[in-house]
Homo-oligomer: A and B are copies of this chain.
């Protein structure tokens, strides 16, 4: 199914992020016809930019490519539940549908914490589909933190 293929793209971006030493989160954006428009992974460490989460990066990439500030009708796929910052960016960009993988009880801002889309004040609420390829996403994150702990234990 189409949403699985775009989530696969997001997962491959998460894997590339891990190879760069970043927390493995990846994202993709597709247009209303389901065509892939942009893909990105976390680059906070590399760019020394705390806002360079996969979701922010992929929204900026899609908007830059299409020369638009609004992604009405577009879908965003991300391997992990967005944090409050990224959920706010999804609303600002007017993303129509948000598909995410693993839940993030620690830092998520959609189903947890600030629950950015649940407030009557929120200008724009996307359709939300959670748990898409959640296991693959969780495995990537688990492996990344396991490796990092092992590396720390060695030093």
Give the interface of A toward B (CB within 8 A). Answer: 44-45, 48-51, 53, 56, 59-60, 63-64, 67-71, 83-89, 91-94, 105-107, 109, 112-116, 119, 121-123
CB distance from A106 to the nearest CB of B (A): 7
Copies of this protein chain in the complex? 2
Identify which of B45, B93, B121 contacts A113 (C-beta below 8 A).
Answer: B121
Q: Beyond A48-B64, A84-B91: 4 further Cβ-contacts under 8 Å?
A: A50-B89, A50-B92, A50-B94, A51-B56
| Alpha-carbon gap, A49 to B64, bound state (A) | 7
Minimum distance in angstroms from A44 CB to a CB of chain B:
6
Compute how far the CA of A106 lies from the CA of B91 in the bound complex, rounded to whole angstroms. 14
